[in-house]
Structure 1
Amino acid sequence: MTISSPLRLACILGGALILASCGPKPTPQPLPPPPPPPAPIAVPLSADWREWPVAAGDWSYRAVDGGSLASFGAPGQPAQLILRCDVATHRISVSRASAAPAELIIGQMTIRTTSGDAQWPVLPGGAPGAATSLAVATRAAVDGVFDRMIFSRGRFAVEAPGAQPIAVPAWAEVARVIEDCRG
């Protein structure tokens, strides 16, 4: 019995394909890491803070050892503004992320609300060697400026040494930390 030429050719090509598929499989190349997020661009701000754009991000609240904390920032990014309650002392620390080295963080933090402005002295804070320092102002929880922050019409603003001024929404997380500290 003889096999026809087209059938013989199909068998030969099929066998060659089977043998070719038995070779080592190429290893997939790892994907390059995603590019880092762009650095924030300093935008010239209006003289009236109420015209500043509200910063991109959300507030989050959580209980921490000795109190509670509300932090504001964009998802996946370090917090830009933190309010932390120390229940034992009934004091609240307001921390603003700063690009300045800790030793250059001196001066005043300005809190702007629709009911008026306040200035608080700052101290440097943050983890040693961290890429971001913090300008930290600590006040008694009964300070009336905290009430102004809660009831400011939709937003309040914070200016701190070494940091771009920021306008943030006046959400419930801020009020919750303040109330935790007054309790």
Structure 2
Amino acid sequence: MLGRVCRCVGLGALVALAACVEQKTPQVAQAPVAATVPAAPVALSQDWREAAVTVGRWSFVADPRGPQAVFGRPGVEPDVVLRCDLGRRMVAVTLPGTGAQTLTVQTSSGNGQVPAVAMPGSLPGGPPYQGAWFAARDPFLDRIAFSRGRLAIGVSGRPALILPAWAEPTRVVEDCRR
């Protein structure tokens, strides 16, 4: 009988001890809230690495003539288009507008300027575009494709756009090289 009492007391002590242990509930991380204020384009003289990213998102467009990476907001003409011309193995970097003399691209691994030329718009009947062509194997496209975090693209006479470095431009460059 004494053995049975000891077992009961021992079991009761374990239950009491378990009740004293603090139960930790897992903390659920909340997703970051996207900024609701559109980021204004910045002048290239400012530190583009510290500027807010331009509002919009990249999307990939499969086209039989060559893939495209399009940056902008839904329902409006794109802000930037990287498109591959598979027949020529060239990649165009374009922005809407006319009259620019240079296209400037700033990346985490280097900056560059090239002469800007008139380009066809991204949509039939849309506004004219301006930009530059690069050979598909041009190392400068690697800078665009593999920039860390962000890159800045602008044309003379307009503020630069600060773009997130997503996979879509990389895919266009890689697909154009195949």
TM-score computed with the length of structure 1 as normaliser: 0.68
The total of aligned residue pairs comes to 138
Match of 1:121 among 109, 115, 121: 115
- State the distance in 1 between where 2:41 and 2:136 align: 33
Unaligned runs of 5+ in 1: 1-39
Contact 1:125/1:134 (CA < 8 Å) preserved in 2?
A: yes
Contact 1:97/1:163 (CA < 8 Å) preserved in 2?
A: no
Q: Which amino acid aligns with 1:173?
A: E
Match of 2:163 among 165, 168, 171: 168
- State the distance in 2 between where 1:126 and 1:167 align: 23
- State the distance in 2 between where 1:44 and 1:68 align: 28
Q: Which amino acid aligns with 1:116?
A: G
- State the distance in 2 between where 1:86 and 1:44 align: 30
Match of 1:110 among 99, 104, 127: 104
Does residue 143 in structure 1 map to residue 142 in structure 2? no
Percent identical: 39
Aligned to 1:181: 176
Aligned to 2:68: 69
Aligned to 1:53: 52
Q: Which amino acid aligns with 2:117?
A: L
Q: What is the CA deviation profile of residues 111-158 of structure 1, one whole-angstrom value per residue up to 9, with x for unaligned ones?
A: 10011101111112245xx67331120010111111111221111100
C-alpha change, 1:43 and 1:86, in structure 2 (3 Å) is: closer
Unaligned runs of 5+ in 2: 1-37
- State the distance in 2 between where 1:43 and 1:93 align: 21
- State the distance in 1 between where 2:159 and 2:100 align: 15
Q: Which amino acid aligns with 1:107?
A: Q
1:107 positional shift: 1.2
- State the distance in 1 between where 2:103 and 2:177 align: 22
1:163 positional shift: 3.2
Q: Which amino acid aligns with 1:58?
A: R
Contact 1:58/1:74 (CA < 8 Å) preserved in 2?
A: yes
C-alpha change, 1:43 and 1:143, in structure 2 (3 Å) is: closer
1:164 positional shift: 2.6
1:59 positional shift: 0.6
Q: What CA RMSD, in Å, does the superposition of the two structures yield over aligned residues?
A: 2.3
- State the distance in 2 between where 1:182 and 1:42 align: 34
Aligned to 1:82: 81
Q: Secondary structure at the match of 1:76?
A: coil
Q: Which runs of 4+ in 1 moved over 6 A?
A: none
Q: Secondary structure at the match of 2:49?
A: helix
Q: Secondary structure at the match of 1:146?
A: helix
- State the distance in 2 between where 1:161 and 1:119 align: 10
Q: Which amino acid aligns with 2:145?
A: I
